[in-house]
Amino acid sequence: MKVLLSWLREFVDAPGRPEDIGATMSLRGFAVEGIERLGDDDAVIDFEVTGNRPDCMSVIGIAREVATAFRLPLREPPQLFPLTTVDRSDIIDVVIESPELCPRYAGAVADVTIAPSPDWMQRRLRAAGVRPTSNIVDVTNYVLLELGQPMHAFDHTRIGGRQIRVRTARAGEVLTTLDGKSRELSPEMLVIADAERAVAIAGVMGGADSEVAAGTSTIVLESAYFNPLSVRRTSKALGLKTEASVRFERGTDPNLPLLAMERACALLQQSGGGDARGTAVDRYPRRIESIVLQLRRSRIARLLGTSIPDAEVRHVLEALGFVLRDSDEGWAVTIPTRRVDVTREVDLIEEVARHSGFDRIPMTFPPLTAAPPPMDPRIVLARRLRGLVAGQGFSEAVTFGFTAAAAAEPFADGEAIVPIKNPLSEAFAVLRPSLLPGLVESAGRNVRRGQRDVQLFEIGNRFTQLDGEVQSIAFVWTGAGRPLHWSERTREVDFFDATSLVATVAGALDATTELRPLNTPPLFLVAGQAAEVVASGKDSGSASAVPVGLVGRLAPEVGEVLGLPSEAPAYVAELAIEPLARFRRTSLKAFAPPRFPSVDRDISILVDDTTAAGSIRDTVRGLAIADLAGLREFDRYGGKGIPEGKVSLSLRLTFRSPDRTLTDAEVQNAMGDVVTALKEKHGAVQR
């Protein structure tokens, strides 16, 4: 709300420089967005008026706040043209068909000569950011700015039947508004009509056909109160916001229209624009009365944490126009109808606090009456994972929760993706079904900026139609798998770097992982280097196994789409945290380290090169050798010296008994069983 200082000073003797006034009002709830100096002794102060204070979208509203803040008297509007209200009038009649939507409508007629308005008026309008048009329209705008009552002027000759009907629009009714646009109205919209057709959209904008123009000699002035919700809905539906609509939709003062009309008629006369006939038809079928609220002294102290002297309470509220009557516990307060924001006791306490100053409130602490609860385990877990993964060399990324449809598509089935109804742009059109599109984009940005080796992770939520919101952790790794060092050759990241990280994360949550090849993986993974991660509890075995995520090499074409150049391979993984976290042990029974030595035995076998290492491991485990403590592949070799289609696999088996030192014969026996089983199951030949 741009307020011209000299205009403000017609209502209150605001002291000091505009900056001082602005600084004081900022601490009363009216932040200053800017001050524009006009010459030496005038200025425009642009106050930010919060949405709950339509009464301050006017000079007098701001003046009342200034008067309260500086403890100065407030003057009433200077000149009024007294109007006699009549029930019927020959020259204009008003019929309200929808009193719910229009509780009050006043109309008055004036004879006018269209001309530019006087300079002083034009200057004030301009200062407030309103473009002057003609003396009549300028007067209505002047009243709007000064008192906060939106008004409208119709050309009397264009009001058919000399009758104003406030009614809802007829289905399909069309009105060309002042801005020249033809608008189709719907039956929930309130219009101002003459005997035949709509001439204005109530509270929003007038019609072009009934507009005051150069030849207009008689006008009908409208000053009304419209239902805020109705105006808001109409304005929204039409996509049409005006100075009038923003005030009506927040709530104007239902008891202001007649005063505003008298002010307008006085200004009309003063500016030489014309003369009011002297009567007004004021229909007020739904009278809106002031409410009375109880304000308890004790409640003020309880809410603010400090007590405010009675005299101060009374001063502040009376200066703002509230009427106070003493009651047992405090006051009975009559609320002016302009104060649409004050509907409960707490609203009055805010008024008192606002003007007695928030800085007077002391600083204390809320008493702790119960033991603090432990931190949300979900947050604790995310913190630990963050530390763990950062320790593995990954930097944490934070990416948006939405992405472009094309970016999401390789990561989820089309029907699983959740679209946003009103996206800001194509780039943010769907909720991310995976953290990976954003992570890969981030990696791509780094690579394009010359960072060759990039390791990023993110912890966050992904969204799908079926599962809703799912917390997960995801990684992308491109560039060196082993950093450059003078002592050895570097190498690019590979599949087993990626799975190592997956195992580390799962292990930290007490889960063990098993990888199952995906021969037809989702589009974002390369077939042949893609696996499903299946987790199970450390102690519970594979019976409890659940799929928790995917790992593999990023499909280069998907990387390209997301801006990650395809020259270097990139590996990605994503794991759902919650199913993994279920494996965390809630209690742990520690064991002492084994007392007896273990024995290692290595064997090398020839098997088909399509035989999965996992199946060989399963075969050995299937023997259920009691003292087998460990099993690990330590070499895999194919090529020269190995028959076509075969591969040499070397296994190290570790044997240990908890209660004695194993004999060579025992171990040899077990190894014999292993070799036999591998031969039977896999046709393995020992080398």
Residues 407-436 binding another protein (CB under 8 A) are 418-424, 428, 431
Cβ nearer to another protein, comparing 159 with 231: 231
For strands 599-608 and 570-576, give the pairing.
unpaired
Q: Whole-angstrom Cα distance, residue 222 to residue 142?
A: 14
CA 259 to chain centre: 42
How near is the Cβ of 495 to another protein at its closest, in Å?
A: 18
- Residues between 293 and 322 that touch another protein (CB under 8 A): 302-306
- Residues between 12 and 41 that touch another protein (CB under 8 A): 26-29, 31
Cβ nearer to another protein, comparing 440 with 525: 440
How near is the Cβ of 562 to another protein at its closest, in Å?
A: 13
> Is there binding between residue 397 and another protein (CB under 8 A)?
yes
Cβ nearer to another protein, comparing 278 with 563: 563
Among 88, 325, 485, 640, binds another protein (CB under 8 A): 485
Cβ nearer to another protein, comparing 102 with 175: 102
DSSP per-residue string spanning 70-119:
HT---PPPS-----EEES--SS-EEEES-TTT-SEEEEEEEEE---PPPH
Q: Whole-angstrom Cα distance, residue 246 to residue 232?
A: 8
Give the binding range for another protein (CB under 8 A) out of 93-101, 121-129, 168-176, 442-450. 442-450
How near is the Cβ of 432 to another protein at its closest, in Å?
A: 11
Helix 345-356 to helix 310-319 angle (10° resolution) is 100
How near is the Cβ of 504 to another protein at its closest, in Å?
A: 13
Return the number of other C-beta atoms located less than 10 Å from residue 59's C-beta: 26
Give the binding range for another protein (CB under 8 A) out of 279-287, 375-383, 549-557, 667-675. 375-383
Token pair for 161: 């039947």
> Is there binding between residue 483 and another protein (CB under 8 A)?
yes
Of the chain, the end-to-end C-alpha distance in Å amounts to: 90
Q: 583 with 511: CB under 8 angstroms? A: yes
Start-end of H helices in 183-293: 228-238, 243-250, 257-270
Cβ nearer to another protein, comparing 29 with 107: 29
> Is there binding between residue 442 and another protein (CB under 8 A)?
yes
- Residues between 174 and 233 that touch another protein (CB under 8 A): 229, 232-233
- Contacts of 126-130 with CB under 8 Å at 24 or more apart are 127/2, 127/4, 127/7, 127/38, 127/44, 128/2, 128/3, 128/4, 128/44, 129/2, 130/243
How near is the Cβ of 317 to another protein at its closest, in Å?
A: 14
- Residues between 376 and 395 that touch another protein (CB under 8 A): 376-379, 383, 386-387, 389-395
How near is the Cβ of 395 to another protein at its closest, in Å?
A: 5
Cβ nearer to another protein, comparing 217 with 500: 500
Binding footprint of another protein, residue count (CB under 8 A): 98
Q: 50 with 65: CB under 8 angstroms? A: no
Of 578, 553, 549, 579, nearest to 568 by C-alpha is 553
> Is there binding between residue 461 and another protein (CB under 8 A)?
yes
Q: 92 with 33: CB under 8 angstroms? A: no
- Residues between 335 and 374 that touch another protein (CB under 8 A): 344, 346-347, 349-350, 353-354, 358-359, 361-373
How near is the Cβ of 299 to another protein at its closest, in Å?
A: 9
Q: 180 with 110: CB under 8 angstroms? A: no
Cβ nearer to another protein, comparing 120 with 358: 358
Cβ nearer to another protein, comparing 287 with 449: 449
| Per-residue interface string for the shown chain with another protein, residues 227-256, x marking contact by CB under 8 A | --x--xx---------------xx------
With b for 16 or more beta-carbon neighbours within 10 A and e for fewer, the 205-215 pattern comes to: bbbbbbbbeee
Cβ nearer to another protein, comparing 236 with 621: 236
φ/ψ of residue 34, rounded to 5: 180, 155
Q: Whole-angstrom Cα distance, residue 438 to residue 440?
A: 6
Taking the alpha carbons of 494, 495, 500, 501 in that order, is the dihedral positive or negative? positive
Give the binding range for another protein (CB under 8 A) out of 66-74, 122-130, 450-458, 499-507. 450-458
φ/ψ of residue 418, rounded to 5: -100, 110
Cβ nearer to another protein, comparing 178 with 508: 508
How near is the Cβ of 470 to another protein at its closest, in Å?
A: 9
Q: Whole-angstrom Cα distance, residue 494 to residue 500?
A: 10
**For 505-516, what is the HEC assignment?**
HHHHCCEEEEEE
How near is the Cβ of 247 to another protein at its closest, in Å?
A: 11
Cβ nearer to another protein, comparing 27 with 323: 27
- Residues between 552 and 581 that touch another protein (CB under 8 A): 578
Among 468, 547, 614, 630, binds another protein (CB under 8 A): 468
> Is there binding between residue 496 and another protein (CB under 8 A)?
no
Of 579, 581, 511, 584, nearest to 549 by C-alpha is 579
Tell me the sheet residues that pair with 464: 468
